[in-house]
Structure 1
Amino acid sequence: MKRLQYDVRKISDNIHKEETEKVEIENMRPGELLSRLEQFPVAYFPLGTIEWHGRQNPLGCDTIKARELCKSVAQKIGGVVMPSVYYAADKDFESQEGTGYGMDGISGMVLPGSFYQIDLELLKKYLINGCANCFNRGFEMVVLISGHNPPIQEEVMKEVSEYFKNKNKKVIYSMECNCVMDESNRMCDHAGGYETSMMLHYNEELVNMKANEGYEQELLGIGTSYPLETSSKEIGQKQAILQIAGMSMWVIDEYKRRANNG
């Protein structure tokens, strides 16, 4: 028996398109999804973690950043935001106290809240399957945006992109902070002045700036060149605006290149 294929004509005869401002796929009805697909058939995958981000920040900091950016860009230029991926790539680090995964090793202790470790081949297969599902259901390009920013995470996204390139499918990827095109205005860190500012912008109720007070090691599990005390909602807003503008231009350009076999 032959395998069924995505058939736009058959679908159009059976499902009425509905206009919608929604961008998150889990909130859409089928007709709303078809309308978004017709207008701009691009899927965004926000990649992040459930991970220690200082005492002051929510554990989902990486994912919140990536998801909010994808939502804003989809609202601005079109496309559909897929469910967030909370597993991510990292590596072991050595400290005087021993070896640990990610910020555990850097901090010298197993920190509460970090639940993102996954076999790297499994993560790659997971992303490949997710992207393939999108292509099989009418999307023409997939965008991977990671709020978790170690080089090994970027390498996994690159491998996924190369896999689909060999199949003449377009998957593009970026760290969320790299969507700021002007490097002189680009910020990035782990749980410091940058990420805390982003959380203050997106949802300040999730941040407790007093949570580090009174501890000998105030910056436990924090890696930054931006002092934590400089964090502000205004800095987060400025970075978000720059990221949205940069990512929107990049996605549109890459989509046009795809359409022109670039």
Structure 2
Amino acid sequence: MRLVSWNVNGLRACVNKGFNEYFKEVDADIFCVQETKLQEGQITLDHGEQYRQYWNYAEKKGYSGTAVFTKQEPLSVRYGMEEETEPEGRIITLEFDAFYLVNVYTPNAKRDLSRLDYRLEWEDRFLRYLQELDARKPVIACGDLNVAHQEIDIKNWKSNRGNSGFTDEERGKMTGLLEAGFIDTFRHFYPDRTDVYSWWSNMPKVRERNVGWRIDYFLASARLAPMLTDARIDCHVTGSDHCPVILEAEL
């Protein structure tokens, strides 16, 4: 099974920059996107009858939003965590026979860290939610988690220490999540690989020089480890300031 996750930073713009061509080429069983930045009826994607589509739109226009395209029909679909809906459209959970798939776009703490407290509270709720799901069946969670976990996950870690996405608090929440029984699948396969990132600033020459951050992940319940076969980051794929990340598994 091939699972793909991509923060498209505006799906309508990304469609004009090769989204459909990549979607066809990668031939994912499940394809998750974050930051769709649209409302219902603002786009029509036709990837054939083999894909079912599930959308969670933010109430605020042009903001946030998630979607999942899946070849396999889920047993159930849920939007949000504790509540049945959530205004920023950040989470979709699909239940399958063997696992739960959680597509998530984690809130950004903002450059001035004005949303850090909210972000940390979100992290606590998200961990509880994953643990509740994991108590029933294994979990695969993917998306833009808006944190570079380790120094190896960011090019200029010294100068970014304490900045949004690389605060000790945010990194600590990721550590706690992994210690609670989840795997960072890319590091599971490539614990020491450097200079592999999933997001680059739009400032000139930044992506060309590969001055990036790895903030997009596939996490998995630890007991799924024997079924994971590979993880990769398609750094060559443009169309967004993020690139797709991929998990291969025998599920």
Q: Which has the higher strand share?
A: 2
Which one has a bigger Cα radius of gyration?
1
- Give the TM-score of the pair, scaled to structure 1: 0.32
Q: Which has the higher helix share?
A: 1
- Give the TM-score of the pair, scaled to structure 2: 0.33
